[in-house]
Amino acid sequence: MVTDLFHLDDTLGALIISTMITSALYGVTTIQTYVYFQRSEKDSTLLKSMIACLWILDTVHQVFICHACYTYAITDYSDLLALTKETWYVIGVIFITATLNVVLRSVFCLRIWQFNDKKWFLVAIIMLCSFAEFGLTMAFGLRDQIGLHAQFLALHSLAPDVYIGLVFSIIADLTVACSQVVLLWRRRSTVSRTNSLLRTLMLYSISTGAVTTVCALLQLITFASMPNNLVYIAFFTALPVLLFNALLATLNARQSLRDIAGMNGEPISIPLSTVTPSSSAVTAHVGPFHSGQNHPIVSVHVSKEIKLDRMEDMA
- Mean pLDDT calculated for residue range 150-169: 81
**Would the pLDDT of 311 be above 50?**
no
With respect to residue 195, please indicate whether it lies within any of the assigned structural domains. Answer: yes
1 DSSP 8-state letter:
-
pLDDT of the residue at 22:
94
- Same domain, yes or no, for 254 and 279? no
With respect to residue 309, please indicate whether it lies within any of the assigned structural domains. Answer: no
Q: Which domain holds residue 7?
A: 2-261
End-to-end alpha-carbon separation of the chain, Å? 46
For 95-146, the pLDDT digits (tens) are: 999 999 999 999 888 888 887 778 888 899 999 999 999 999 999 888 877 7
Closest CA to 101 of 170, 12, 42: 170
Number of independent structural domains in the chain: 2
- Same domain, yes or no, for 15 and 129? yes
pLDDT of the residue at 254:
75
With respect to residue 157, please indicate whether it lies within any of the assigned structural domains. Answer: yes
With respect to residue 308, please indicate whether it lies within any of the assigned structural domains. Answer: no
With respect to residue 105, please indicate whether it lies within any of the assigned structural domains. Answer: yes
Distance of alpha carbon 126 from alpha carbon 263, whole angstroms: 32
Dihedral (CA of 245, 192, 111, 37) sign: positive
**Would the pLDDT of 296 be above 60?**
no
Question: Confidence band (pLDDT; 50, 70, 90) for 56?
Answer: very high
Q: Give all strands (DSSP E) within the chain, no chain letters.
A: 281-286, 298-303
- Same domain, yes or no, for 202 and 62? yes
Q: Which residue type sits at 17?
A: I
pLDDT of the residue at 315:
44
- Same domain, yes or no, for 80 and 12? yes
- Same domain, yes or no, for 194 and 77? yes
CATH of the domain at 155: 1.20.1070
- Same domain, yes or no, for 238 and 293? no
